Structure 1
Amino acid sequence: MSQHPAITVRDVSFEWNSGSVVLNHCSLEVPAGEFWMLLGTNGSGKSTLLRILADLLPRKSGAVAVNGQVGFVFQNPDHQLVMPTVGADVAFGLVEERLTVPQVRQRVTEALSLVNLQALQQRPIYALSGGQKQRVAIAGAIARHCDILLLDEPTALLDPESQTDLVQQVSELVRQRQMTALWVTHRLEELDYCDGAFLLEGGRVVDSGEPERLKRRLMSQG
């Protein structure tokens, strides 16, 4: 494992044009090759921070270092799946890499295998469940050989069984592929699958570390 963090955030602030402050001197480090979660109530800045890390929003001040290629998974997979079939959608993200057709096929097959969707390569996107769509989105990042996965409440629209399946799958992927993942959630049960967690309040990290301890803290707050 690299001695350098995969993600470093230093004193990052962000506010909307209305003047509403979302992040207020926020700092954190995500160790390379680990699965960490971002916790906090609605409005605490979780999704905004993730979008800044993915270069989807500009920070007002502070510094961000992301060491590796990033894949972003939205809360609603319909916002990022653009092709008609599973295989075509995973292949779509490889267009800029100028790979040969056999190389693309290999990347797609490998990525779908890792998320247990290889048998659905020809399946229309519209025929998939919500959990399967999220796994297609993750496969797209794997096919591009992303080092870091940023996942914005990826289980929010899923049923309880699919929620558990997805978080288990990402936990296994991190270990198998030696990836780094940062997962936004407010579901305390998902903390059972990560290496560590950050708690955001008022746009800054107020606690971080061992997931079980953070879970106890939040449960005691009711």
Structure 2
Amino acid sequence: MIHSAFIRAAAPQLPPPHSIGPARNGSTENFAIEGRNLNYSVTTRQGKFVPILKDCSLRIPSGQFWMLLGPNGCGKSTLLKILAGLLNPIDGFVYVKKPKSFVFQNPDHQVVMPTVEADVAFGLGKFNMARDEIRSRVAKALDAVDMLDFLQRPVQTLSGGQKQRVAIAGALAEACKVLLLDELTTFLDEKDQIGVIKAVKNSLKNSEEVTALWVTHRLEELEYADGAVYMEDGRVIKHGDASSILDFIKVRQASYIDQINS
């Protein structure tokens, strides 16, 4: 699991992003994730400067399940990696409540131990814990993602969706406050897609302290979200409750189709 604290880049005195409404407890200050005016660019081998993120701002309320959407190449995975601490922005401000965990698109990059129990317990090795405490945490985390019956199952016998749920359980066992999830359902069949989404929802239901940000390109997954952020061309275009974002995207798509057909 990836853990990093607070990153403060070059511009600490930036204006706040657009309001997205209060968190569940009514507070406008209770955010688990905040990014302000984030910029990120890469330089090609030919020396060309290519901007990937352009003045991106977002806030995700604590204890909620939000999704990050947008066309391919719009910068959503790059933004998620900056929030995870895997990339550093050129400028801007990032705060993510810690500990946080990044769950990869391909679970084989993260699930490393031979059995489910051993894999979920793997990250706890850095803590000074008694065996009983480790077993308790592992069992609780697996129960949260509906995988407790698979405790002794060899990892190699699991489906892709089951491996993703084991990866999520590993993050929960470490008592993470923020889950950053990168297109977990891209290569999964429909049954595993729903299983992984429900595992995340159940994780938040079991602990109001956990917040999740899920990168996806599937509009149908929005029905499970509390809110969403929509990006285009490296920019955050809109954020708010899931139904309003879905309506916004559908209008956007219809307008694009009309332009093509006109």
TM bucket, shorter chain: over 0.9
**RMSD (Å) for aligned C-alpha atoms:** 1.2
Equivalent AA in structure 1 for residue 108 of structure 2:
D
Please say if 1:183 is aligned against 2:176.
no
Which has the higher Rg, Structure 1 or Structure 2? 2
The 3-state SS of whatever aligns with 1:192 is helix
Residue of structure 1 equivalent to 2:96: 66
For the 8 Å contact 2:144–2:206, the answer to whether it is kept is no
2:241 to 178, 203, 210: 210
For the 8 Å contact 2:146–2:199, the answer to whether it is kept is no
Equivalent AA in structure 2 for residue 113 of structure 1:
D
Larger mean CA deviation between 166-175 and 106-115 belongs to 166-175
Equivalent AA in structure 1 for residue 33 of structure 2:
I
Question: Quick one: higher RCO (CA 8 Å, sep 6+), 1 or 2?
Answer: 1
Structure 2 Cα separation of the partners of residues 205 and 161 of structure 1: 31
Shift of 1:110: 1.1
The 3-state SS of whatever aligns with 1:41 is coil
Deviations 1:79-119 (A, max 9, x none): 11111111111111111112111111111111111111111
The 3-state SS of whatever aligns with 2:82 is helix
The 3-state SS of whatever aligns with 2:79 is helix
For the 8 Å contact 2:144–2:202, the answer to whether it is kept is no
2:123 to 93, 106, 112: 93
Please say if 1:80 is aligned against 2:106.
no
Structure 2 Cα separation of the partners of residues 76 and 215 of structure 1: 26
Q: Structure 2: where are the runs of 5+ without partners?
A: 1-24, 255-262
The 3-state SS of whatever aligns with 2:248 is helix
Q: Percent identity?
A: 50
Larger mean CA deviation between 1-10 and 145-154 belongs to 1-10
Give every structure 1 segment of 4 or more consecutive aligned residues whose post-TM-superposition deviation is greater than 6 Å: none
Deviations 1:46-90 (A, max 9, x none): 111111111111111101011221011111100111111111111
Deviations 1:131-177 (A, max 9, x none): 10000000000000001110000111110121122212212221221
1:11 to 37, 49, 55: 37
Structure 2 Cα separation of the partners of residues 154 and 123 of structure 1: 21
TM-score of the two chains, using structure 2 as the length reference: 0.82
Structure 2 Cα separation of the partners of residues 53 and 139 of structure 1: 20
Equivalent AA in structure 2 for residue 115 of structure 1:
V
The 3-state SS of whatever aligns with 1:209 is strand
The correspondence of residues 42-191 of structure 1 with structure 2, limited to 5 A, is 42-178=72-208, 179-191=210-222
Q: How many residues align?
A: 222
Structure 2 Cα separation of the partners of residues 72 and 210 of structure 1: 23
Shift of 1:16: 1.6
